[in-house]
Amino acid sequence: MQTTEAIRERHTLKMLAETPWPTQTPSSLATARLLPELCALAGWAPFHQPCHSSHRKAGLDALAPWRFYLLDADGCRRLADFLARSGRDAGKLLPMLWAADALVQATWLPNPPEPGTTGLFEADMANMEHLAAASAAVQNMLLAATDAGLNNYWSSGGLLREAWALEHLGIPTGELLLASVFLFPNEAQGPCLRMPGKLREKRGQWDQWARWARWARWASPNEQAAESGSRQG
């Protein structure tokens, strides 16, 4: 698949299974084998700042400001069982974990906050760039999954971003969950509901989020007038 095709083809698709799908399917086994490559491709994202040394732990000691924690289809079903037994209201999470070939918990690595900082993280330039870089890595993963024919969904995580879930999945405190990436099989393995992203068709057109800037040759007469106005002003 061409890069441009993968960009256009990538779309949110949640698959909600009526009952847990089998785990040792050709699709789920292929996805498990593919996960290391998806992580490697994701990690070609640009990044501007090395992560803080406190995030560089044995084994997970990369400078890059993102980390990925991987569950295969069996892991997804076990997590679903755990959620169901815990009595928590898991909503759509259960049927998605019944359908998923894999779940990737993607975190970004904020610099440790100064004492007295309120909120999730310090709102400074370094953290903005860590978060931006990790987001680029997640998008790379979605594009690579699309290229591999996997349905995918970037979720904020819901229950999966709560402290108990992060702890169970071995995610250190200090890392912030950026995405719960669901990877679903290309072909449904049983009855299911398919849900697209709510905002897919509402994003607008390119000329609603981009314009030629004042010195560009292609600036419209209005923009050129604004330019000469601002030059005179």
Coil, strand or helix: which one is 62? Answer: coil
- Of 183, 178, 142, which Cα lies nearest the Cα of 157? 178
Q: For residue 205, state whether it binds ligand FMN (rule: CB under 6 A).
A: no
Buried b (16+ CB within 10 A) or exposed e, 46-69: ebebebeeebeeeeeeeebbbbbb
How many chain residues bind ligand FMN (CB under 6 A)? 10
Q: For residue 231, state whether it binds ligand FMN (rule: CB under 6 A).
A: no
Read off the tokens for 201: 């068709």
For ligand FMN, the closer of residues 32 and 68 by Cβ is 68
- Can you state the angle between helices 73-86 and 26-42, rounded to 10 degrees? 100
Q: For residue 50, state whether it binds ligand FMN (rule: CB under 6 A).
A: no
The strand pair at 102-108 and 66-72 is best described as antiparallel
Strand ranges across the sheet with 102-108: 66-72, 102-108, 176-184, 151-155
Rg of the chain over all Cα atoms, to the nearest angstrom: 21
Interface with ligand FMN (CB under 6 A), residue from 33, 48, 57, 200:
200
Q: For residue 12, state whether it binds ligand FMN (rule: CB under 6 A).
A: yes
For ligand FMN, the closer of residues 51 and 106 by Cβ is 106
Q: For residue 8, state whether it binds ligand FMN (rule: CB under 6 A).
A: no
Binding mask 96-135 for ligand FMN (x = CB under 6 A): ----------------------------------------
Shortest distance (Å) from residue 137 CB to ligand FMN: 13
Interface with ligand FMN (CB under 6 A), residue from 199, 205, 208, 209:
199
For ligand FMN, the closer of residues 125 and 199 by Cβ is 199
- Residue ranges binding ligand FMN (CB under 6 A): 11-12, 154-156, 196-200
